[in-house]
């Protein structure tokens, strides 16, 4: 009874990674272990000297009622999440240890998902992807070598659905506040002739959003075919999504927030983001013998879409002759679309050798990205030129190649000591041509060669207790928007030192980790946004992050568990300069933007029955600054919110194999809070003639007050 209660509890929160270490192996776990070879090259084992958390399908399911994957990871250590529309659907983001999402590496089955050029992971492009996740691993800090752009704060390594021996089907429907609706269907043929399996999913999510008119219209699909026979595993996948979201990325001013925190400054009815993305993957794993195995992965990603925007009294000169004045005025009202059209190709290959005391992985990855950026005017109050509607007023192209090779080894020195080593060479080439959206020439031709070594040691104090220490270096190239903000932008470098203690005994699980992340030219968020809502970053010289992370689980009785998580940190720029009133001012040591010193959460889990659980979840995020000069205007206040999660599973004897009812009440105490924003300054020379005055301001993204989601899943 007690073990079942523990497992049910871990299904409701993702803060503990030890729950499965002592489980009895079953057919299903053997299948999952075989398929985990697809992510072996980018994941680490539970006893590795790398700070990480593992999340299973069961842990995601209890809260998967339509919100994006980052929101479902909100209770992991050092994680802060946010939602533009306020309710966790649409554009969402995740920060780990205060680091920009642009510094988080994301892979799916070992294939890079992070956009090669912008370095962002746009979860809105894959609605309801959580329903097709078998497991994921969140590595904090540099982590192990991975494919794609390097990890500077975290890496999220996702494994999609494992194959099923038996045929299954399920229908899921959920409803909630702000007219939120999620509908999905899944199926699996089970093993055909003991070797083939086909599975799939279709999903549709709609939500009006907490913010006025910040709606989401999301569709997605997932199709997978698996061949598994005599040491050969072949998986072919096609998945993707189509998102339409009404924009709310400009946020609200302080006054607007006080007047009506749900208002949206946009009024044009079609101020939307409309984007499609399709992913095609092929994986072939071959077990040669008991010691040797190989894996080959191929990927093609096709992305295309636009952001449509109404512009009132816009400067005609910024449209390159597409729009001309009929009456001599210099401005006009117009509607423009800014497009992205890109292709992304990847090939990964690894060789693994394993025996009793050593595990070796050799691998390489090559990717090629080709992306077009262009804009068109689809309507203007006056067209006097000879151009036609939809003629492009700017066009630019970006090409990026990424080659990396790595070798990893875990060696068992004796019964107590494991040694880990990881060496990676990475070469990046980036070229651009054409114009930016501001009609400026963008000519970049840069190449970078990075060497990223990692080493660590694990020491087994006792059967249930171990220590680890590690050092890792990472280098990371700038993004396209970084170059647009500063053509002389430099790559960033990180030296990451980690030390931790893991303790796992019946009824008690504890993970304590300390870290020191020393940066050179860290690309930190300035707090400002560019003209399409993307965050602006700048090199910060020398900076550091030092912190302590604690995650635990205590079984207080057969039916009651408590799971606290705490991060205490200090995040500093060693020297900060900024223009104030036309004069360069030295601010000295300042806080790094968007880096709260305290992030904490807790789960009280009550499971009086095998098929019923109630979880009360709390989250606290301390004060943080949205800029890097510690000004009061840039401060984002602390917040403390509470959620209630209830699950009940009924197992009827006919028709359905299970009926699962889930309910989630977010922010149950109805707190008004803001989880994200931006900070800006500009020089005003009108207030005092002949004198520059620095004006500062801020924008805020209000999060939803009390709201709920209720779902029912029918399993056949």
pLDDT band at 533 (very low <50, low <70, confident <90, very high): low
At 15 the pLDDT is 37
State pLDDT tens for residues 602-632.
999 999 988 999 999 999 999 999 999 999 9
Contact residues for 541 (Cβ-Cβ < 8 A; gap 6+): 520, 521, 573, 574, 575
Alpha helix positions (H), 246-316: 254-259
At 13 the pLDDT is 37
Length of the chain: 716
Whether pLDDT at 43 is above 50: yes
Residue (of 162, 15, 98) closest to 552 by Cα position: 15
The residue-averaged pLDDT of 20-30 equals: 35
pTM of this prediction?
A: 0.90
- Burial code (b: 16+ CB inside 10 Å, e: under 16) for 693-708 equals eeebebbbbbbbbebb
Pick the CATH number of 2-715 from 2.40.170.20, 3.30.70.1710, 3.30.930.10, 3.30.160.20: 2.40.170.20
Say if CB 452 and CB 475 are below 8 A apart: yes
At 175 the pLDDT is 96
pLDDT band at 685 (very low <50, low <70, confident <90, very high): low
What is the enclosing helix (H) or strand (E) of 709?
A: strand 707-715
Q: Where are the domains of the chain?
A: 2-715
Bigger pLDDT: 487 or 327?
Answer: 487
Matching residue, tokens 């006056």: 382
User: Other C-beta atoms within 10 Å of 460: how many?
Assistant: 16
What is the sign, positive or negative, of the torsion defined by CA atoms of 628, 631, 633, 635?
Answer: positive
State pLDDT tens for residues 586-602.
889 999 999 999 999 99
Contact residues for 244 (Cβ-Cβ < 8 A; gap 6+): 216, 217, 218, 272, 273, 274
Whether pLDDT at 14 is above 60: no
At 386 the pLDDT is 65
Contact residues for 386 (Cβ-Cβ < 8 A; gap 6+): none
The residue-averaged pLDDT of 112-127 equals: 93
Whether pLDDT at 438 is above 80: yes
What is the enclosing helix (H) or strand (E) of 501?
A: strand 492-505
pLDDT band at 18 (very low <50, low <70, confident <90, very high): very low
How are beta strands 583-591 and 111-112 bridged, if at all?
Answer: unpaired
At 690 the pLDDT is 64
At 681 the pLDDT is 85
State pLDDT tens for residues 413-427.
999 999 999 999 999
Alpha-carbon radius of gyration of the chain: 26
Residue (of 262, 127, 268) closest to 203 by Cα position: 127
Whether pLDDT at 27 is above 50: no
601 burial (CB, 10 Å; 0-12 / 13-18 / 19+) is buried
Say if CB 543 and CB 612 are below 8 A apart: no
Distance CA 498, CA 610 (A): 39
Whether pLDDT at 19 is above 70: no
Whether pLDDT at 17 is above 70: no
pLDDT band at 100 (very low <50, low <70, confident <90, very high): confident
Distance CA 679, CA 527 (A): 5
Beta strands across the sheet bearing 111-112: 52-56, 133-140, 154-160, 104-108, 111-112
State pLDDT tens for residues 546-572.
999 999 999 999 899 999 999 999 999
At 34 the pLDDT is 60
Phi, psi torsion values for 305, nearest 5 degrees: 160, -175
3-state class of 71 per DSSP? helix
Task: Give the residues across from 608 on adjacent strands.
Answer: none
Distance CA 627, CA 594 (A): 8
Distance CA 595, CA 572 (A): 9
Whether pLDDT at 103 is above 60: yes
3-state class of 88 per DSSP? coil
Residue (of 514, 598, 562) closest to 16 by Cα position: 562
Distance CA 480, CA 179 (A): 37
State pLDDT tens for residues 310-341.
999 899 888 887 887 767 788 888 999 999 99
Distance CA 711, CA 62 (A): 10
Whether pLDDT at 471 is above 90: yes
Q: What is the mean pLDDT of the chain?
A: 89
Say if CB 27 and CB 166 are below 8 A apart: no
Contact residues for 462 (Cβ-Cβ < 8 A; gap 6+): none
Bigger pLDDT: 282 or 59?
Answer: 282
Structure tokens at 544: 């550091």
Distance CA 134, CA 160 (A): 5
Residue (of 99, 127, 126) closest to 113 by Cα position: 126
At 583 the pLDDT is 80
What is the enclosing helix (H) or strand (E) of 19?
A: none
The residue-averaged pLDDT of 56-80 equals: 92
Query: What does the DSSP 8-state code read for residue 469?
Result: E
Say if CB 365 and CB 308 are below 8 A apart: no
Say if CB 374 and CB 392 are below 8 A apart: yes
Contact residues for 32 (Cβ-Cβ < 8 A; gap 6+): 134, 135, 162
Whether pLDDT at 645 is above 60: yes
Distance CA 529, CA 645 (A): 35
Distance CA 609, CA 5 (A): 8
Residue (of 467, 578, 573, 436) closest to 518 by Cα position: 573
């Amino acid at each position: 009874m007690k073990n079942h209660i523990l497992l049910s509890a871990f299904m409701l929160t993702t803060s503990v990674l030890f729950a499965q270490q002592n489980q009895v192996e079953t057919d299903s776990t053997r299948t999952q272990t075989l398929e985990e070879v697809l992510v072996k090259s980018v994941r680490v084992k539970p006893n590795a000297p790398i700070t990480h958390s593992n999340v299973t399908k069961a842990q995601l399911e209890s809260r998967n009622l339509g919100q994006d994957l980052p929101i479902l990871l909100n209770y992991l250590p050092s994680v802060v999440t946010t939602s533009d529309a306020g309710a966790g659907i649409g554009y969402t983001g995740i920060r780990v240890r205060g680091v920009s999402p642009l510094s988080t590496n994301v892979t799916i089955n070992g294939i890079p998902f992070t956009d090669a050029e912008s370095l962002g992971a746009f979860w809105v492009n894959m609605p309801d992807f959580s329903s097709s996740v078998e497991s994921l691993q969140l590595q904090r800090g540099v982590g192990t070598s991975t494919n794609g752009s390097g990890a500077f704060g975290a890496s999220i390594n996702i494994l999609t659905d494992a194959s099923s021996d038996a045929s299954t089907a399920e229908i899921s429907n959920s409803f909630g506040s702000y007219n939120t609706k999620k509908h999905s269907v899944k199926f699996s043929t089970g093993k055909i002739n003991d070797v083939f399996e086909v599975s799939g999913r279709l999903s549709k999510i709609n939500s009006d959003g907490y913010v006025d008119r910040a709606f989401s219209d999301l569709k997605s699909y997932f199709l997978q075919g698996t061949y598994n026979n005599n040491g050969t595993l072949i998986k072919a996948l096609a998945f993707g999504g189509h998102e339409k979201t009404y924009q709310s990325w400009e946020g609200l001013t302080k006054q607007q927030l006080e007047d009506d925190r749900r208002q949206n400054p946009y009024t044009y009815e079609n101020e939307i983001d409309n984007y499609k993305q399709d992913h095609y993957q092929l994986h072939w794993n071959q077990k040669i013998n008991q010691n040797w195995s190989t894996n080959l992965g191929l990927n093609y990603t096709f992305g295309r879409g636009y952001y449509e925007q109404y512009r009132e009294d816009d400067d005609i000169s910024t449209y390159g002759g597409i729009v001309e004045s009929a009456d001599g005025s210099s401005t006009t009202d117009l509607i423009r679309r800014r497009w992205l059209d890109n292709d992304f190709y990847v090939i990964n290959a690894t060789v693994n050798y394993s025996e009793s005391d050593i595990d070796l992985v050799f691998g390489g990855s090559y990717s090629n990205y080709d992306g077009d950026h262009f804009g068109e005017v689809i309507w203007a109050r006056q067209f006097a030129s000879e151009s036609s509607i939809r003629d492009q007023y700017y066009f630019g192209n970006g090409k990026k190649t990424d080659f990396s090779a790595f070798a990893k080894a875990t060696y068992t020195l004796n019964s107590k000591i494991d040694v880990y080593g990881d060496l990676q060479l990475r070469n990046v080439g980036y070229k651009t041509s054409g114009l930016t959206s501001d009609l400026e020439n963008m000519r970049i031709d840069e190449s970078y060669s990075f060497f990223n070594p990692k080493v660590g040691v694990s020491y087994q104090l006792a059967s249930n207790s171990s220590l680890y220490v590690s050092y890792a270096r990472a280098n990371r190239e700038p993004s396209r928007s970084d170059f647009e903000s500063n053509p002389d932008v430099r790559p960033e470098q990180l030296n990451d030192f980690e030390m931790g203690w893991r303790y796992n005994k019946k009824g008690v699980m504890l993970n304590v980790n300390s870290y020191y992340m020393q940066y050179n030219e860290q690309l930190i968020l300035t707090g400002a946004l560019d003209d399409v809502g993307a965050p602006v970053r700048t090199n910060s010289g020398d900076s550091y992050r030092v912190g302590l992370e604690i995650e635990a689980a205590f079984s207080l009785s057969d039916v009651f568990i408590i799971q606290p998580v705490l991060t205490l940190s200090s995040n500093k720029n060693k020297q900060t300069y900024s223009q104030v009133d036309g004069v360069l001012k030295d601010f000295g040591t300042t806080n790094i933007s968007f880096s709260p010193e305290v992030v904490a959460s807790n789960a009280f889990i009550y499971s009086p029955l095998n098929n019923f659980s109630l979880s009360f979840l709390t989250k606290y995020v301390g004060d943080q600054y949205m800029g890097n000069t510690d000004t009061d205007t840039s401060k984002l206040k602390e917040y403390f919110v509470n959620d209630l999660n209830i699950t009940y599973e009924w197992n009827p004897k006919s028709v359905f194999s299970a009926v699962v009812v889930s309910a989630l009440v977010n922010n149950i105490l109805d707190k008004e809070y803001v989880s994200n924003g931006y900070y800006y300054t500009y020089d005003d020379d009108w207030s005092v003639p002949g004198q520059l005055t620095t004006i500062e301001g801020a924008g805020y993204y209000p999060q939803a007050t009390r709201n709920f989601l209720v779902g029912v899943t029918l399993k056949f």
